[in-house]
Amino acid sequence: MSDLAVSPTRTAVPPKVLRRSAAARKARYSTIKMWVGALCTGVVVVPVALARVLPLPDPVHGVLRETSLPPLSPGHLLGTDPNGRDLLSRILHGGQTSLLIGLLAILLSGLIGIVAGAAAGYFGGWVDTVISRLLEAQMSLPLLLMLLLVVALFGPSILVITLVIAIAQWPEPARLTRALVLVEREKPYVAAARVLGLGRLRIIARHIIPNILSQTLVVVLLLLAQAVLLESALSFLGAGVQRPYPTWGGIISDGRELFVTGAWWLVTIPGVAIALLVLGVNLLGDGLRDRVRRAKAVTS
């Protein structure tokens, strides 16, 4: 199937028909998805990353006489909040917190997930049983409630929220890694490595994981969107980073009661930022996953 899409010259089917084939359509879609995803993500992530460099007003200290200015007001592109703080500045600085937590959380959850999943898949037996039951147990817990409970117990801070989200997300990469390792460990190159006398940990780290990493990383990337959403949900519920530092969920939470009084921008604009980032990351991850699958199919 993918051979047709990848090397059309080796077939007698006319190129016009080939272009309309399902495989070619999927290839085009994945490219479009990746570009649109990269664009949506870039629109949010690039300004967020440059927030400290851009000439923006202070996100914490406002000018009270500039209270609740609508978007496109002089000096305030996205308007101000009731405390007279520039909304663009708050969204970009708040985005730094959300993205920092999201990135740290997926790094940690990816690491835990890959290590645990690889161990479960390769060693099998009681290691697999323990890890599988652990992740099933965790997946059966209501995620947001669990997060709220932990934050209530240990207090809201970037470290606690990051750890909580990371621990909440490890089952996803762990399950995928386990499944991929189960397939890989039966392949001849693994048997050859064993025959050559390589240790089990070395086989996993040097031979199996590099072969499955691309597929796992795509799933880990997709978790970024979920991590940002979780952080925003926690902030929205008041369990996020403490005031007066901005977070996306916090800005929306503060603005929601003013929405009906006409200050629509306080909820809508940060909401659009979250939606763009989540959509972008998902499309990008989706496109990458399609590409990785296709590449895998071609090579095998």
Partner 1 sequence: MSDKVGMSGATGAGPGRGISRRALLQFAGLVGAGTVVGSALSACAGPQGAGGATGSGGGGKLSIVLNRNLVSLDNKLNQYDAAVTVQRAVRQALTRIGQNLKPELVLAQSFELTAPTTWTVKLRDDIHYSDKSPVTVEDVETALKYYFQVKASFVAAQFPEQPVFAKIDDRTFTLTTSKPLVTLDSLMSNILITPAKANKPEELREGIGTGPFKVASADSGTGTYRLVRNENYWGEKALLDEVNISYQEEEGGRVIAITSGQADVIDTITPESAAALKKNNDIELIQEPGTRLIHLFYNFRKPAGHPLTNPKVREALSYAVDHDSLISSLMNGVVSSAEGVVPKTLAGFVRTGQYAFDPAKAKQMLAAEGVSKLDLTFIWEESEFAGAARVMEALVSMLGDVGVTVKLKEIPKGGEINAWRRGEAGDWDVLGNGYGNQTGLAITNLQGQYGGTAEKEKTRDSYHGFVFPEISGLIDQAGSEPDAAKRDALLKQAQEKIWALSPAMWAWTPDNVLAKRKRVTSLELSPANSYDLSKVRVSG
- Residue 240 is a binding residue for partner 1 (CB under 8 A): no
- Residue 25 is a binding residue for partner 1 (CB under 8 A): no
Of 207 and 256, the one with the shorter C-beta distance to partner 1 is: 256
- Residue 299 is a binding residue for partner 1 (CB under 8 A): no
| CA dist., res. 173 & res. 202, Å (int) | 21
- Residue 159 is a binding residue for partner 1 (CB under 8 A): no
> Tokens standing for 147?
């997060």
- Residue 60 is a binding residue for partner 1 (CB under 8 A): yes
Residue selected from 258, 276, 292, 297 as contacting partner 1 according to rule CB under 8 A: 258
Q: What Cα–Cα distance (Å) separates residue 213 from each residue in 124, 184, 219?
A: 20, 12, 10
Of 46 and 260, the one with the shorter C-beta distance to partner 1 is: 260
Say which residues have a Cβ less than 8 Å from residue 299's Cβ, sequence separation at least 6: none
H helices within 51-124, ranges in order? 87-123
Strand partners, 73: 76
Residue selected from 13, 17, 64, 295 as contacting partner 1 according to rule CB under 8 A: 64
Burial letters 118-139, b for 16+ CB under 10 A, else e:
bbbbbeeeeebeebbeebeebe
Residue selected from 2, 21, 83, 268 as contacting partner 1 according to rule CB under 8 A: 83
CB contact at 8 A, 120 and 128: yes
> Tokens standing for 41?
């993500």
- Specify the DSSP class assigned to residue 69: P
Minimum Å distance from CB 29 to partner 1?
19
Residue selected from 172, 184, 231, 254 as contacting partner 1 according to rule CB under 8 A: 254
- Residue 70 is a binding residue for partner 1 (CB under 8 A): no
The stretch among 98-106, 163-171, 196-204, 252-260 that binds partner 1 (CB under 8 A) is: 252-260
Binding site for partner 1 (CB under 8 A): 60-62, 64-65, 67, 82-84, 238, 242-244, 254, 256-263
